[in-house]
Structure 1
Amino acid sequence: MPISARRSLVAGLSASLLLAATGCGAGATTAAGSSADLKPAPAAQRLDKVCPATVVVQADWEPEAEHGPVYNLVGPGYTVDTDKKRVTGPLVIDGKDTGVKIEVRAGGSAVGYQTPASQMYIDQSITLGMVTTDSAIQSAGKQPVTAVAALMKKSPQVLMWDPETHPDWKTVADIGKSGAKVVYRDGEVFAPMLVAKGLIKKSQLDGSYDSAPSRFVADPSIAQQGFATAEPYIYEHEVAAWKKPVEFQLLADVGYTVYPEALSVRTGALKELSPCLKKLVPVIQQSAADFAAAPDTAVTLIDDIVKQYATSWVYSKGTGQYAAKEMVELGILGNEADGSIASFDKTRVTDSLKTFGPILTASGVKIPAGLSADDLVTNEFIDNKIGMK
């Protein structure tokens, strides 16, 4: 698994507590809709003379609403490769054709759980990969990437708890004071971060989380990792043995300063791709703002391809709709201080380097000397005038 926190494999779980595989795709390519009536985008948003004929985006995980701004770019007439777990269609903005195609490749099981950075170096036809800041720091020595657009403003990662068992818990610090076990997936960098900040005691950490809800259901005295965009909905509506609310605090509010799943290029390809990125990044920004305002088209597409991929990843449309709403309400998807969407606060990136550099180094990762925020992110292609209304 990547160092950055990943989505639980039980998203969309309904009657059972443990997820069973539903089988693999048949490998057929399935058409959907029609692109015949698409009008051309304005010249400023035409990408056909500066970008690859197909802009390839490697996701870091299975299809989910957190990837909504990217899936929102996939226009009608898209095709689904159920073998390779890819969706391809005209790259559209505001319902208009930009002149190129977009191919979004699923991560997770589709790529053997390899990181987007590693995939980008294996297959250099990949234009953009979704790379979280701590993963970018981890890969900087051998597979450097530079983020050009923030897919989300802050991480949806949380610690969650049962409010009936712990009515006095309001924050992560309250969990730390209680001495309760904190169940997480071993290798997640937020756990040692919480210890280093004095919010959780090392003795509380339990790295045995396996993504199933059975532990939490059986022992609601624990705190558990999760995502604000998934588990609160899933546990209340889709885990039959629970069916009630949970409470949580965003780890972004206690020092987990990463930019999750930031759209990144191979650092060595940045100059070559610059003419494309100058036009593509503002299109991505507008798509993010459009998705925040009206997510239904992208959520419906995500629901369609999850069903067609037919892997062990189960993700209900209800979860997607909930996630899209929570992303906006919790500020997970939002404007930076300058009013633009998808831009980076380099002070935050520097803070991530200071926080997670030592943690990763202690785990054996060799981080290049002098690595800086400017190596990891750039606002060069951001249009400061594009933001959420």
Structure 2
Amino acid sequence: MTKMAAVGAIAAITIAACGSDDDSSSQESDTTDAAESSDAPEPDTTDTTEAAADETDETDDTAVMDEDAMEEGEAVDLSGVCPETIVIQTDWFPEAEHGALYQMVGENPQIDSGKKVVSGPLVTHGGAETGVNIEIRTGGPAIGFEQVVTTMAGDPDITFGYVLTDEAIENYADNPTTAFVAPLEINPQIIMWDPETYPDVESIADLATADGGDGVTIRYFETGAYMRYLVNDGQVTEAQLDGSYDGSPQIFISEGGAIAQQGFASAEPYNYENVFEDWAKPVDFELIHDAGWQAYAAPLGVLDSKKEELTDCMAAFTPVVQMATVDYYADPDAANELIIEAVNAYDDFWVYDQGLADFSVQAQLDLGLAGNGPDDVVGNFDEERLTAFIEAAGPVYGVEGLTVDDLVTNEYIDSSIGF
């Protein structure tokens, strides 16, 4: 990345990435040494997707995964149930938080710098082929900062997309979606502050009474629905809010840490300590997840209008995504190499290097951003957590009557796959 003098590029980077959790953009990239995660044990992946096979075993056009297929790296046939190319719309540039997707790209990937697309054969555990291709599309500025749900609704070529839970609620009336697997367990978004300036602040709520009792100004991206929740919940006050955040670190740095600011746990702590030379020291933060806004940040979802035709595909593809998630965090090097290569080829304001990729992977593991849910399964949705989130988010969006079943499903999850 660049130093402070060239921060105009990085400023734009975080407009979406650190801008807003319902803005379908994300600069999640983070923590220390990815190589450390290679010590993670190999999960028991027997009996994967038998449910999918059972559901479709009356025809020859089924996804075939015998009980040892994924463990041994054998081929998994998705060609009978999935499109020839599974097109996935992401919410931002390539980054380590999207690692599970890039883990599924096989040998000799194609990088289209004009369209900002990475494509190639879709592979599963051990590089085994699936009979279909994968296309990963860049979000954020590449789609005009449009929400992924909106982009999906306007482009029939998109198979699945990153559908944040709060974005799903916001768009439910016009474009209902169902999320079916969640590679990330916890949203990386944070509010951060300078621990030297505010040594007694330990949480977002503490910022309301700091600075002599007047409260610390919090800069945030004005469309962030989580902030309305924090106000309604009494954790922050209207007087603290400054919605002018544009992703740039310059104001935070020029203020000498007198203000607080939003960001991502998987990026800002690294950048402020190691990249922004005019700051070059740690920041403290609290995840908005820990403050109560517990949306899933990057689950794969499908438009409900396409759910019936893609049901068999989701049943077969979901365990592949689960396995890719486990494999990526066990050994992220190859996928991160592709991520960095793609970012360099795109040659846009978004920049990404090995240090940030390594930091991101380790931070995601250390903070539980990636991992199993409350059980031993990766990728599934915690229904109790989502029920509470719907209750918290409903008033923010003026939506009533939604249930967990309206927004997500665990029906395709293979419960044998976990970290």
Q: Common fold, TM-score beyond 0.5?
A: yes
Q: CA deviation at 1:268?
A: 1.9
Inter-partner Cα distance in structure 1 for 2:232 and 2:354: 38
Q: CA deviation at 1:80?
A: 0.7
Which position in structure 2 is the counterpart of 1:32? none
Query: Aligned with 2:261: secondary structure?
Result: strand
Inter-partner Cα distance in structure 2 for 1:328 and 1:83: 33
**Among residues 264, 283, 289, which one is paired with 1:252 in the alignment?**
289
Do the aligned partners of 1:153 and 1:332 also contact (CA within 8 Å) in 2?
Answer: yes
Q: CA deviation at 1:41?
A: 5.3
Q: CA deviation at 1:173?
A: 2.0
Which position in structure 1 is the counterpart of 2:57? none
Q: Deviations over 1:151-204 (max 9, x none)?
A: 211111111111111111111122122111111111101111111221112211
Which position in structure 2 is the counterpart of 1:283? 320
Query: Aligned with 1:171: secondary structure?
Result: coil
Inter-partner Cα distance in structure 1 for 2:351 and 2:8: 8
Query: Aligned with 1:384: secondary structure?
Result: coil
> What letter matches 1:338 in structure 2?
D
- What is the correspondence of 1:21-36 to structure 2 with a 5 Å cutoff? none
Q: Percent identity at matched positions?
A: 41
Q: Deviations over 1:61-120 (max 9, x none)?
A: 111111111111111110011111101011111211111110000001111111111111
* 1:295 to 2:332 alignment: yes
Do the aligned partners of 1:13 and 1:19 also contact (CA within 8 Å) in 2?
Answer: no
Q: CA deviation at 1:206?
A: 1.1
Which position in structure 2 is the counterpart of 1:9? none
* 1:151 to 2:144 alignment: no
Query: Aligned with 2:183: secondary structure?
Result: coil
Which position in structure 1 is the counterpart of 2:87? 56
* 1:211 to 2:247 alignment: yes
Which position in structure 2 is the counterpart of 1:173? 205
**Among residues 6, 10, 14, which one is paired with 2:3 in the alignment?**
14
Which position in structure 1 is the counterpart of 2:225? 189
Which position in structure 1 is the counterpart of 2:35? none
Query: Aligned with 1:344: secondary structure?
Result: coil
Query: Aligned with 1:225: secondary structure?
Result: strand
Inter-partner Cα distance in structure 2 for 1:54 and 1:334: 28
Q: Deviations over 1:328-359 (max 9, x none)?
A: 11000010122110100122222222111211
**Among residues 297, 314, 317, which one is paired with 2:351 in the alignment?**
314
Runs of 4+ in 1 over 6 A off after TM superposition: none
Q: Deviations over 1:226-265 (max 9, x none)?
A: 1000000011111121111111111111101100021000
Inter-partner Cα distance in structure 1 for 2:262 and 2:342: 27
**Among residues 106, 110, 117, which one is paired with 2:138 in the alignment?**
106
Which position in structure 2 is the counterpart of 1:119? 151
Q: CA deviation at 1:224?
A: 0.6
Inter-partner Cα distance in structure 2 for 1:13 and 1:165: 26
Inter-partner Cα distance in structure 1 for 2:314 and 2:73: 17
Inter-partner Cα distance in structure 2 for 1:187 and 1:112: 15
* 1:341 to 2:362 alignment: no
> What letter matches 1:19 in structure 2?
G
Distance 1:145 1:347, change over 3 A: same
**Among residues 363, 375, 394, which one is paired with 1:357 in the alignment?**
394
Which position in structure 2 is the counterpart of 1:6? none
Inter-partner Cα distance in structure 1 for 2:141 and 2:246: 16
Uncovered stretches (5+) of structure 1, i.e. residues with no partner = 1-11, 22-39, 362-366
Inter-partner Cα distance in structure 2 for 1:41 and 1:101: 17
Inter-partner Cα distance in structure 2 for 1:97 and 1:288: 17
Do the aligned partners of 1:64 and 1:302 also contact (CA within 8 Å) in 2?
Answer: yes
Inter-partner Cα distance in structure 2 for 1:323 and 1:19: 22
Q: CA deviation at 1:310?
A: 0.8
Do the aligned partners of 1:65 and 1:299 also contact (CA within 8 Å) in 2?
Answer: yes
Do the aligned partners of 2:185 and 2:368 also contact (CA within 8 Å) in 1?
Answer: yes
Which position in structure 1 is the counterpart of 2:301? 264
Which position in structure 2 is the counterpart of 1:35? none
Inter-partner Cα distance in structure 2 for 1:221 and 1:75: 47
Normalised to the residue count of structure 2, the TM-score between the two structures is 0.81
**Among residues 82, 96, 116, which one is paired with 2:113 in the alignment?**
82
> What letter matches 2:225 in structure 1?
V
Inter-partner Cα distance in structure 2 for 1:14 and 1:98: 43
Q: Would you say how many aligned residue pairs link Structure 1 and Structure 2? A: 352
Do the aligned partners of 2:9 and 2:350 also contact (CA within 8 Å) in 1?
Answer: no
Once superposed, what is the RMSD of the aligned Cα atoms?
A: 1.5
Uncovered stretches (5+) of structure 2, i.e. residues with no partner = 11-71
Inter-partner Cα distance in structure 1 for 2:363 and 2:310: 33
Query: Aligned with 1:253: secondary structure?
Result: coil
Which position in structure 1 is the counterpart of 2:416? 385
Which position in structure 2 is the counterpart of 1:34? none
Ranked by relative contact order (alpha carbons within 8 Å, sequence separation 6 or more), the top structure is 2
Inter-partner Cα distance in structure 2 for 1:305 and 1:17: 21
Q: CA deviation at 1:17?
A: 5.5
Do the aligned partners of 1:17 and 1:239 also contact (CA within 8 Å) in 2?
Answer: no
Inter-partner Cα distance in structure 1 for 2:4 and 2:337: 23
* 1:67 to 2:104 alignment: no
Query: Aligned with 1:16: secondary structure?
Result: helix
